[in-house]
Structure formats: C-alpha cells, structure tokens
Amino acid sequence: MTGGHPSRLDRYRPRAARAVGLLGRRETYRSLALEAIWTMRPRELARRPPSWAIPAPAVGRLSVDWPLESQWPGALAWVETLRQGLAAHVPVNRSEIEQPFVNTVFFDVRVGARTHRVAIDYADSNEIVAEGAHPARLLFKLQYAEDGYGRDDVVPGGYVVGQPQLYKYLARLRRLRDLKPPLYDVYGRFGAHGLPVREQVMAELARQERFAFHGSLGTVLYVESMRESARARVCVDLPGRGYFCYRLADYLAIGSCIVAVPHRNRLPVPLVDGEHVIFSAPDGADFVERCLELLGDPEARQRLVQGSREYFDRYLHPAQLAAYYLSTVLERLGEG
C-alpha cells in the first residue's frame, strides 16, 4: 500500500519490469502451472466457530453494502478477503458508496432500518488518513499504532494476506509444510521499499555464513513465494513501508516459525513472543542469533508452527476477522 497518488504509469512500470525478468525463469512457469491446478481444484480449510460472537437476534437484521469502486484501483482487490468474510455471516450487496480518500475503503453496515458508515484505513502508516475529516462512525485501522489514538472510533483492523486466491490452495501449502522436508534454513523475500531495518537485516542475513539463507530484496510470483515459505525452517518478517507486512499474515496462515522485528502497532489480539512469533531486538541487531537459536531447536520451531497457525485460524481468517468487525460495530455503535 502507498500513502500518495502515484500515476498509473508509475504504478505499472516496476510491475512490467518485474514481469519481464520473471519470464526468463523456469520456476515461474512451474509456479504458474501449479497455481492453475490448485485454483481449479481448491481445498477449503475446516471452518471454526467465530472467536467473536455476533448476537443471534442481530444476525437477522444485519447486512452490508460494499462499494463498487475505490479511490486506489487495487484497494478492493486487496481487501476482498474481508468482503468474503463478511459474506460468510450476513448478506453483502454491491452499492455506489462515495470513497473520498485514497488508502481508505468506506462501506455501510445496516442494522434493521439504521445504516452506519464504517471505514477500513489500509495506509502503510500509523497516521490516520485525513485525520478529523472522516464521515465514518467507526474506523478499522490496519496499521494501528501500539499506543492507540485516544479515541473510541478508531480500532485495530487486523491484517490480510497478500492475495485472495491464497485461500484456494492454503490447505495444500499447509500439507506441504507438514509433510515435506524443509528446503531452506531461513527464508525471506521482500520488495525493495521498506523501513531501513529491512535492508539492514537482509544485508546481515546474506552476509553471515552460519546458516543458509534463501531470499532477497526482490520478489517472485506470489504462489512461488508461498511455496518457498512452506519449505523453510524459519521465515523472516521485516517491515515494509508500515510495520505490518502482508507476509506476516501469509506466514501465520501457512503456520510458520517466524522471526520478526517488533511491530510498533498491534492487531485486535496481540501476538505473543515465544508463542506465535519470536521477536528480535527493535533494531534487528540480534536477528541472526534468533534464527540460529531456532535452527538448533526443532521442538521450539514446531511449537511456533502450531502457535502461528492456531493464531491465524482463530483471529485472522477472513470469517473470523469479519466476525470481529461486525461484533465491534454492534458494540461500539450501541446496536448489541
């Protein structure tokens, strides 16, 4: 996500250059073929009861109006999993809804005859987009500052995976993670744009010689990256333009042993150090040591794999996150 208004040419130029580079790789075609097979034959994850209760009397009165367009063309695709999650609980209708800001998606929650304007701020910044000018009664902030905002109308928004189609083959990735031997000791691929600590830690991982590191500040096809993540003993989470990066959600979804620089923002349910993820020092100075410790402790790695996957299934799966959104709207806006 970006915080400005890049031109269409600026948006697509790096994508075009990346696509040309990927065309020369055999693994690109193998990944495309696998993705085609996997998406044609999707395997669904088992559904869990909602971790946030939606009062039964309210369910029959609830519906959602979801926008047809957004200011940033890619926004609705990026939050599509949230729309799908909402549709798992209540009727969702496509509607013309004004979208006055970039980096924010506005939608309506209807409770009987009443309509509440709600927003998702997906900007890669802990700052609130258009502070004080929002028409929404409740704002779900994805990059929610760890110290909060001192106001009741802004709440943590959770986070989403990189691409909606992940859910069509997530069960296969989990099986790959559980049944196939690892190919990589430590893994991490990221785009070139991120906070300075990303480049610092990546340089140290590439420079050290105590374990094999697979990755780069350069991306591959999404499905290839997910397959690589599933075959790694340890996965690296580093901030992009914001402290949360969709790779964190991807890793949690697969069930990975994750080492991360501490996030200076928070999810609706906090990640627990040593249970869901291992945190390095804030500046990443001991990142290599944290990875090395986990490589020498298979039992700790397995606990983290189980803990990260359990966290995702309980709190970040789209149906769970949508239940959180709906229950929060009912509670905060006096509709419970």
- The region of weakest confidence among 3-17, 158-172, 226-240 is 3-17
Assign domain 166-316 to its CATH architecture. 3-Layer(aba) Sandwich (3.40)
What integer is the mean pLDDT of 278-293? 98
Cα 218 to the chain's mean position, in Å? 19
Which residue ranges make up each domain of the chain? 56-161+318-332, 166-316
- pLDDT, tens digit (0-9, with 9 covering 90-100), for 21-61: 566 577 888 888 888 888 888 888 888 899 999 988 888 89
CB 184 within 8 A of CB 228: yes
The answer, yes or no, to whether residue 19 has pLDDT greater than 70, is: no
- pLDDT, tens digit (0-9, with 9 covering 90-100), for 170-224: 999 999 999 999 999 999 999 888 889 999 999 999 999 999 999 999 888 999 9
**pLDDT at res. 21:** 54
What integer is the mean pLDDT of 217-232? 93
